[in-house]
Amino acid sequence: MKFFIKIKDGKPFEHPIAEDNFRLAYPEIDINNLPSNFAEFKRVSPPALGVYEKNQTCSYEIVDGVYQDVWASEEISDEEKLARQNEVKKIFAETLNYASWIFDEKTCTFYPPVTPPDDNQIYDWDEKNTQWVEKIAKE
């Protein structure tokens, strides 16, 4: 789907307009020959927030000559990062609580010390023997 945006004083003004709505609002404008106060607009999906990011915002800017969505986010503070890590550790302790698993601060996730097999079978973690055990389906 195509989008268009109004340009005012050389900058994007208001929000992008879907092509169908643009045609209804401005039937006199040829979308293949836009006047200088309109431009084609490229929609860009927001990226997933990182584990230590917050407050995702969107602005409309020119990138490589095309008006488009530009996404930004903030890094959380050291205090928020520690709180998030402690919450993940608490939940892990209340649920799985495998002593052998390793907490990765970079991803804020616990990982087993041994990678699970990659053979399309289902496995459970055996903490006593620190290994993956194939889960046998009940018949």
pLDDT in tens, 62-96: 999 999 999 999 999 999 999 999 999 999 999 99
CA distance 131 to 113: 9
The 3-8 sheet, strands edge to edge: 11-18, 3-8, 38-42, 66-75, 53-63
CA distance 54 to 33: 40
Structure tokens at 116: 């699970």
Instruction: Give 96-105 contacts, CB < 8 A, sequence gap 24+.
Output: 96/125, 98/125, 98/127, 99/127, 100/127, 100/130
Structure tokens at 35: 């006047």
Could you tell me where the DSSP H helices lie in the chain? 19-25, 78-94
Residue-wise pLDDT for 8-53, tens only, equals: 999 999 999 999 999 999 999 999 999 999 999 999 999 999 999 9
